[in-house]
Structure 1
Amino acid sequence: MSSIGPAANIWHYDGQSATRHFPSVLWDGQGVSLRWDGGESGPHRWSSILALGGTGGQSAYGLKGEAGWRLVFAGSPPADFAIHLPLPARYGRWIDRIGLTRAIALFAVIAALVVFLVLRAPGWIAPYIPQSWENRLGDAIAGDLGGRVCSTPASRAALDRLATQLGGGPPVRVIEIVNVPMVNAVALPGGRILIFDGLLAQAKSPDELAGILAHEIGHVRNRDTMAALVRQLGLSVVLGGLNGQVGGVLNGLLSLSYSRDAERNADGYSIAALKRANISPEGVAGFFDRMGGGKKGEPAERAMSWMASHPVSAERKSAFLKSKVPGHSYEHALTPAQWHAMLRACRDDKTVKPPVQLSL
């Protein structure tokens, strides 16, 4: 057994009073004991001693389970005593144990794995969500539009013709025009696609609309909407936790951020669908050109492209234009009469409710 003290440069607080004791410190390979006039502490196993650091060159130690217990050396403790003690924790005990550099590398690996799982896990989870649940969710969201679906016999026939040409069969269940003044179309869960009247008002031709609709059909076929919902809104919404906030979920859908791979795959489906239907891709290429602001808007869009989920509009325009066969004779997606019926669907349907503005 080794010992040191009592000495003025070694003191102890027992955690029970504010009295400073000047103990004898006795130790062996198992642990340490303190003894002073009228009291003692220990023996305490080395594993119960905590390194607390110190100020002014002091070395301070605590005891597990005893908040006020302190053993303080004015300088460093004896070498054969210190060899049994834990080192003061600078960054945290396990970080000190492996080193700061290795800890930073480990954190970086863990962070990368978390990001990878956040990005990839929704794509793995989505296929296992029962179709019945997805259909219920889509129907609930569509029902929140409250009688704003626009339909006349002529517009319904035109829309069915367009959908048939573009492969709009199962898993696509319903394609509808809705009285919303927004330049957009959205794929809902459960194979529902909504075309907003604001998009029809901006579209220059049925060929343009055909490319946009085919893109949304691509999202449905790839089940991208469910993957995006899982990623952004959480499984609680997907599994039925709407809590009456269906409108909020619809707004969330409008601002969904698909992955760039999903967007490119949906564009790829659209290009292939237009080719099968013998519809020129030039119309939808013009749409992307307008949405991106043309050549004037391209620099700003490219500057912000690292934040965007969609590929740059100029790149999408180029992809569609490259698919056009020079000198080939294409057919229009709809006749002038059919196109006119779709454009006027929300005005000619006398039962539809007034337009609603959705906020993003």
Structure 2
Amino acid sequence: MTQIGPDETIWHYDGSNATRHHPALSWNADGFSLHWDGGGSGPHRWSDLMPMTGTAGRSLYGLRGVSGWRLGFAGLPPEAFAVHLPLVARYGRWIDRMGLWRAVGLFGVVAVAVVFVVLRAPQWLAPLVPQSWENRLGDAMVGDFGGRLCETPRSAAALAKLQSQLGKDVPIRQIGIANIGIVNAVALPGGRILIFSDLISEAKSPDELAGVLAHEIGHVRHRDTLTALVRQLGLSVVLGGFSGDVGGTVNGLLAMSYSRDAERAADSYSIDALRGANISPLPTAAFFKKLGKLSGGDAIERSMSWMGSHPVSSEREKAFTASAVKGHAYRPSLSPAEWQALVNACAEDKDVAPPTKMLF
């Protein structure tokens, strides 16, 4: 047992009154005690001492769980006593023990690891998700569109014909038309694809639609949608986020971003599917040319976050144009009557909800 004091360089308040004591200190490896005429405090464990900010060169400590308890030294505590004291917490206890710059380095390594997991883990996690779960997730998303899915017997037959030409071996459960004012199409989990009505209205021919649809079929084939959901939102957030609000659902779907590799793979699938069906890729190239003009050109597309995962439209236009065989006799993907059935589907479906214009 080691002891110092009492003297004027050591002072203490016990927290019960305003009396200032000048105690003697005694300690060993396990803890310490304070003694003064008529009283004392302790024994206390070293870990119960809490370094506090001193003033005018003084050192000050509190006692864990005892309000107003103070032990102060005029200057630094005696070295034999100080070796047992906890360090002043400048950044946090474990950071102080490790050192600030070592902690910064550790944080950096952890941050890189987290980013790597967030970006890479979905690529091997998504294939492990049972297909039945993915199907239920897609069913829930489709349900959020309520009565805005339009269909007639003729439009259903036309979509079935496109599916047979472009994705006969892909596990597609539904290709539908949504009465929503967006020039786009989306692949949902569970083999579902929705074509928004304005895409059909703006398309110049069924072959232009065929190339876009084949791109979405490529995403279904590769389960890209589920991978994107796992990466960006997490299945629990997705399942809790799509609950009857068509605006929120559409915004959530369109906010998803696939990797550039996934987008290029979907384009490659589309080019191969068009070639296998003997459908010209030039109308799809024209679609991407038009999309590039609407978005303001390459420089604007590269800077827009929502296009960040896509190759720019001019690159996609060139890829589809390059796949066309000069002088080859392509056949139309649909007859004029079948194409008209798609164009008129929402107008002829008397049960569909009125068209919705989405604002982004």
SS class of match (2:199)? helix
Q: Is the 8 A contact 1:11 1:21 kept in 2?
A: yes
Q: C-alpha separation between the residues in 2 aligned to 1:107 and 1:301? A: 34
Q: After alignment, is 296-305 or 156-165 more displaced?
A: 296-305
Maintained 8 Å contact 2:140/2:242 = no
CA deviations 1:115-170 (Å, max 9, x no partner) are 23333344444333333333333334334434443334443333222211111444
Separation in structure 2 between the aligned mates of residue 76 and residue 289 of structure 1, nearest angstrom: 75
Q: Where do residues 6-155 of structure 1 align in structure 2 (5 Å cutoff)?
A: 6-155=6-155
SS state at 1:71 partner: strand
Query: Cα distance, 1:204 vs. partner?
Result: 1.9
Counterpart amino acid of residue 249 in structure 2 = V
State how many pairs are aligned: 360
Unpaired segments of 5 or more residues in structure 1?
A: none
TM-score relative to the length of structure 2: 0.87
Distance 1:102 1:140 in 2: 47
* Alpha-carbon distance in 1 for matches of 2:146, 2:262: 30
Question: What's the CA shift string for 1:159-182, capped at 9, x where partnerless?
Answer: 222211111444101112232222
1:215 is matched with 215
CA distance in 2, matches of 1:116, 1:341: 47
Matched with 1:157 is 157
- Give the conservation status (yes or no) of the 8 Å contact 1:141–1:247: no
Percent of matched pairs sharing the same residue: 63
The aligned amino acid for 1:68 is G
- Bigger drift between 208-217 and 334-343 goes to 334-343
Q: Would the aligned equivalents of 2:292 and 2:313 in 1 still touch at CA under 8 Å?
A: yes
Letter in 2 for 1:3: Q
Instruction: Give how far 1:240 is off.
Output: 7.2
Distance 2:248 2:293 in 1: 29
TM-fit CA distance, 1:326: 4.5
Alignment CA distance shift 1:124-1:291 (3 Å)? same
For residues 192 and 308 of structure 2, the distance between their equivalents in structure 1, rounded to whole angstroms, comes to 25
Distance 1:87 1:155, change over 3 A: closer
CA-based RMSD: 2.8
Q: Give the superposition deviation at 1:301.
A: 1.7
- The answer on whether the counterparts of 2:145 and 2:246 sit within 8 Å (CA) in structure 1 is no
d(CA) in 2 for partners of 1:307 and 1:99? 42
Structure 1 residue matching 2:164: 3-state secondary structure: helix
Question: Normalising to structure 1: TM-score of the pair?
Answer: 0.87
In the TM superposition, what whole-angstrom CA distance separates every residue of 1:208-245 from its partner, at most 9, and x where no partner exists?
Answer: 21111011111111222223334444423555785555
Quickly say closer, same or farther: Cα 1:134–1:95, change in 2 above 3 A. same
Q: Is the partner of 1:293 in helix, strand or coil?
A: helix
Q: Do the aligned residues in 2 keep the contact of 1:263 with 1:310 (CA within 8 Å)?
A: yes
- 1:5 is displaced (CA, Å) by 2.4
CA contact (8 A) 1:26 1:34 kept: yes
SS, match of residue 297 in structure 2: helix
* Residue matched to 2:173: 173
Equivalent residue of 2:145, what SS? coil
User: What is the aligned partner in structure 1 of residue 199 from structure 2?
Assistant: 199
Change (3 A) 1:106 1:324: farther
Q: 1:25 to 1:163 in 2, by over 3 A?
A: same
Q: Shift in Å at residue 199 of structure 1?
A: 0.2
**Partner residue, 2:346:** 346
Say whether the 8 Å CA contact 2:50–2:63 is kept in structure 1. Answer: yes
Q: Is the 8 A contact 1:133 1:239 kept in 2?
A: no
The alpha carbon displacement at 1:294 in A equals 6.8
Q: Which residue of 1 aligns with 2:283?
A: 283
